[in-house]
């Protein structure tokens, strides 16, 4: 059932599908920011329920795996832009439950695409660094023009959704990101898991041969809204401005929060159900060229210092 909140018809309607999630929640936090009021955006929320949606935000219940419901709701809302943040992101669970992963990560986007075609809406799709096989040497990062070769089932579903978008004929923006972090009351992410253990003086073992570009969630939300403002199209890599292995990430956490580094043990093997790329770092030159000096892209130090100051 939708919430009856009056909206200005002159505003650009942006429907955030998956608004209860980590990224969706952070996007909605910017609705009252002076930086984004000037964009004339009306942020509208959609999810399976409105458990995490502020009362002043228009809400619609949408289950993206339900084709008919998705079509009807999006047709009724008629958004200018749909930001699809909803996904099954537990990489190992996708290996265990491939049917559900396909349903949510492939069929879900396909249903959204068909609705966008009907309404003429632009789709902003959140993809992943894991679509690459990670075979690049350290010091080299994946560009938007590099050919994906997904290893895990999760990555395969996300890339399959990208391919459907490419051939759909709708206007789109694909944002590939990875290792989202920041304070989150609902569940731990890789960074908050590290901080949680170190704060309690619990020893942790961290792998040394998986490289990523960790992405501060609030900064990613800012970047996405800036890309909306700039009417960006095509593919953009939207990750943090650094490339570190998981062990180096943990050491940074200890450094900035002043926890004991000797609690962190480096390991070169970790038993996981899904194969991870060894180097999934992404090149953000294209994004930097577009943003210029308008918006800073955080590196891990920036994000961790922000978290420390607003703990």
Task: Extract the tokens encoding 73.
Answer: 């709701």
Domain membership of residue 35 (yes or no) is yes
180 close to 220: Cβ distance less than 8 angstroms: yes
Q: Which of 9-18, 65-74, 168-177 has the lowest mean pLDDT?
A: 9-18
Q: List pLDDT tens digits, range 231-271.
A: 999 999 999 999 999 999 999 999 999 999 999 999 999 99
What's the pLDDT at 39?
Answer: 64
Domain hosting 69: range is 12-183+214-242+281-298
Of 99, 107, 120, residue with least CA distance to 70: 107
Q: Does 309 fall in a domain?
A: no
Secondary structure of 141-180 as H, E, C letters:
CECCCCCCCCCCHHHHHHHHHHHHHHCCCCCEEEEEECCE
Residue 209 lies in a domain: no
Q: What is the pLDDT of residue 34?
A: 65
> pLDDT digit string (tens) for 190-205?
999 999 999 999 999 9
At 5, is the pLDDT very low, low, confident or very high (cuts 50, 70, 90)? very low
**Separation of alpha carbons 120 and 47, rounded Å:** 21
Please report, for the domain that includes residue 54, its CATH number. 3.40.50.720
Helix/strand/coil for 43: strand
Residue 63 forms part of a structural domain: yes
3-state class (DSSP) for residue 254? helix
Q: Is residue 83 part of a domain?
A: yes
pLDDT of residue 11: 84
Distance, in Å, from the CA atom of 70 to the CA atom of 103, rounded to the nearest integer, reads: 14
Residue 58 lies in a domain: yes
Split into its structural domains, the chain has a count of 1
For residue range 15-66, list pLDDT tens digits in order: 999 999 999 999 999 887 766 555 688 999 999 999 889 999 999 999 999 9
Answer yes or no: is 307 within a domain.
Answer: no
Q: What is the DSSP letter of 9?
A: T
Look at residue 35 in the predicted model and tell me its pLDDT: 61
Residue 132 has pLDDT above 90, yes or no: yes
pTM: 0.95
What DSSP string runs through 44-106?
EEEES--TT--TTS-EEE--TT-HHHHHHHHHHH--SEEEE------HHHHHH-HHHHHIIII
Residue 208 lies in a domain: no
Q: What per-residue confidence (pLDDT) applies to 9?
A: 64
């Amino acid at each position: 059932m939708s919430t009856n909140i009056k909206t200005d018809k002159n505003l650009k309607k942006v429907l955030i599908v998956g608004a209860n999630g980590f990224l969706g929640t952070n996007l909605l936090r910017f609705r009252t920011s002076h930086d984004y009021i000037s964009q004339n955006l009306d942020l509208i929320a959609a999810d399976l329920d409105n458990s995490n949606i502020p009362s002043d935000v228009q809400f619609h219940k949408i289950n993206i795996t339900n084709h008919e419901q998705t079509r009807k709701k999006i047709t009724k809302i008629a958004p200018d832009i749909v930001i699809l943040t909803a996904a099954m992101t537990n990489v190992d669970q996708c290996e265990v439950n491939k049917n559900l992963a396909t349903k949510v990560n492939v069929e879900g986007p396909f249903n959204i695409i068909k609705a966008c075609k009907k309404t003429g809406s632009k789709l902003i799709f959140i993809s992943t660094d894991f679509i690459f096989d990670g075979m690049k040497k350290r010091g080299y990062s994946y560009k938007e023009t590099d050919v994906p070769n997904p290893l895990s089932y999760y990555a395969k579903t996300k890339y399959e959704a990208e391919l459907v978008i490419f051939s759909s004929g709708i206007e789109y923006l694909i944002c590939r990101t990875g290792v989202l972090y920041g304070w989150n009351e609902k569940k731990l992410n890789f960074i908050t898991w590290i901080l949680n253990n170190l704060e309690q003086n619990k020893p942790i073992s961290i792998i040394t041969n998986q490289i990523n570009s960790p992405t501060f969630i609030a900064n990613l939300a800012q970047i996405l809204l800036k890309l909306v403002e700039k009417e960006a199209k095509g593919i953009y890599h939207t990750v943090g401005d650094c490339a570190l292995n998981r062990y180096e990430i943990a050491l940074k956490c200890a450094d900035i929060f002043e926890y004991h580094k000797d609690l962190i043990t480096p390991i070169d093997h970790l038993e996981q159900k899904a194969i991870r790329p060894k180097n999934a770092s992404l090149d953000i030159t294209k994004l930097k060229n577009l943003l210029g000096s308008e918006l800073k892209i955080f590196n891990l130090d920036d994000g961790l210092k922000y978290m420390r100051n607003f703990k």
